[in-house]
């Protein structure tokens, strides 16, 4: 599997973000300042990793909550 590029989330209005999994297109909600890795609940792909501030994500943000 190719190495994914993780991009830190910029300032957002909400506390949670909805991420679209790049592998299976399912959507998952996660805390924007999550302190642990976030894996897709469907396929297990790593969607987000902690940075100390906002998480860095590999998918696409499709919503803010
Ligand atoms: Zn997935």
> How far is CA 1 from each of CA 4, 23, 45, 53, 59, rounded to the nearest angstrom?
9, 11, 10, 27, 15
How far is the centre of ligand 1, averaged over its atoms, from the C-alpha of 20 (Å)? 8
Q: What is the pTM of this model?
A: 0.88
Residue 37: CB atoms within 10 A of its CB come to 11
How far is the centre of ligand 1, averaged over its atoms, from the C-alpha of 45 (Å)? 5
Query: Residue 2: its pLDDT value, please?
Result: 64
Instruction: Express each pLDDT in 1-60 by its tens digit.
Output: 567 899 999 999 999 999 999 999 999 999 999 999 999 999 999 999 999 999 999 999
How far is the centre of ligand 1, averaged over its atoms, from the C-alpha of 49 (Å)? 15
How far is the centre of ligand 1, averaged over its atoms, from the C-alpha of 56 (Å)? 16
Query: Residue 25: its pLDDT value, please?
Result: 97
Could you give the domains of the chain? 13-64 (2.20.25.100)
Query: Residue 1: its pLDDT value, please?
Result: 58
Query: Residue 3: its pLDDT value, please?
Result: 78
> At a CB cut-off of 8 Å and minimum separation 6, what does 2 contact?
none
């Amino acid at each position: 599997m190719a190495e994914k590029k993780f991009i830190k989330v910029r300032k957002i209005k909400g506390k949670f973000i909805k991420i679209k999994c790049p592998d299976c297109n399912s959507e998952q909600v996660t805390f924007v300042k999550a302190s642990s890795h976030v894996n897709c609940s469907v396929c297990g792909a790593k969607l987000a990793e902690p940075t100390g501030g906002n998480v860095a994500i590999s998918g696409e943000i499709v919503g803010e909550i």
